[in-house]
């Protein structure tokens, strides 16, 4: 009985710790203003089809070491006439829980054609959607590269698949993509690896800073 009470106390304490925003988290929208920010989970243009819990502002937050390294990457990217486009950074645990609720509602297939056309929804949990995400540790980022057109507008490099397409086509080394698309993915990968970010091989856009500053902590404070 005492052991059970102790376990409850530990869980409650740990939950409060997760909910607090550490002082070493940086807002990249301010610290890296030359990047493009398209925070998909703040709005409805995402695989759930609605704003996601915990995204109260379209901001990119990262732990300081990861943020400083990404800023260095952005400077190297700029030397090639390109810029970073950010889709997601820190992700509250409450957002991940929102994803799980959506994944378990097999009747909601509004976004299937755009985000998982070749997969059954019940197969998404595991490789694509997990109960805990590295994003919640504060040092993972989803991003791509953009180039500036002659009219001044910025456009994403052709990566062969869209952000958050749940399909093997999104695997970084998928053999079906064109040579140009492969070169674009490898350019992003090489520049991110130079900044100590490691790619998740199933998603060309997904990079985690190494070593992780908070390897065992999943934060739950809202982005605001």
Q: Which residues are annotated as a binding site?
A: 135, 142, 206
Binding residues for Zn(2+): 135, 142, 206
Catalytic residue among 114, 198, 203, 224: 203
Find how far residue 89's CA is from the centre of its chain.
5
Q: Of 188, 222, 224, 220, which Cα lies nearest the Cα of 204?
A: 188
Is 203 marked active-site?
Answer: yes
Two structure tokens written together for 121: 């929804």
Report the alpha-carbon distance of residue 60 to residue 67 in Å, rounded.
10
Report the alpha-carbon distance of residue 182 to residue 158 in Å, rounded.
9
Q: Which residues are CB-contacts of 143 (< 8 A; sequence separation ≥ 6)? A: 84, 85, 86, 87, 188, 205, 207
Residues recognised as catalytic: 203
């Amino acid at each position: 009985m005492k052991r059970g009470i102790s376990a409850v106390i530990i869980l409650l304490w740990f939950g409060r710790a997760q909910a607090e925003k550490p002082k070493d988290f940086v807002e990249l929208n301010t610290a890296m203003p030359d990047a493009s920010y398209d925070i998909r989970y703040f709005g409805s243009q995402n695989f759930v089809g609605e704003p996601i819990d915990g995204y109260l502002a379209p901001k990119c937050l990262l732990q300081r070491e990861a943020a400083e390294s990404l800023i260095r990457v952005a400077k190297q990217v700029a030397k090639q006439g390109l810029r970073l486009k950010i889709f997601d950074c820190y992700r509250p645990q409450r957002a991940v829980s929102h994803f799980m609720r959506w994944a378990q509602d097999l009747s909601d297939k509004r976004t299937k054609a755009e985000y998982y056309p070749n997969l059954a929804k019940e197969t998404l949990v595991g490789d694509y959607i997990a109960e805990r995400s590295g994003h919640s540790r504060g040092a993972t980022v989803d991003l791509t590269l953009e180039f500036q057109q002659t009219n001044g507008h910025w456009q994403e490099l052709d990566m062969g698949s869209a952000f958050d397409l749940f399909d093997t086509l999104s695997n970084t080394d998928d053999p079906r993509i064109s040579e140009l698309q492969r070169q674009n993915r490898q350019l992003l990968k090489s520049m991110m690896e130079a900044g100590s970010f490691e790619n998740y091989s199933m998603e060309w856009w997904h990079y985690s800073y190494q070593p992780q500053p908070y390897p065992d902590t999943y934060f739950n404070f809202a982005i605001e």
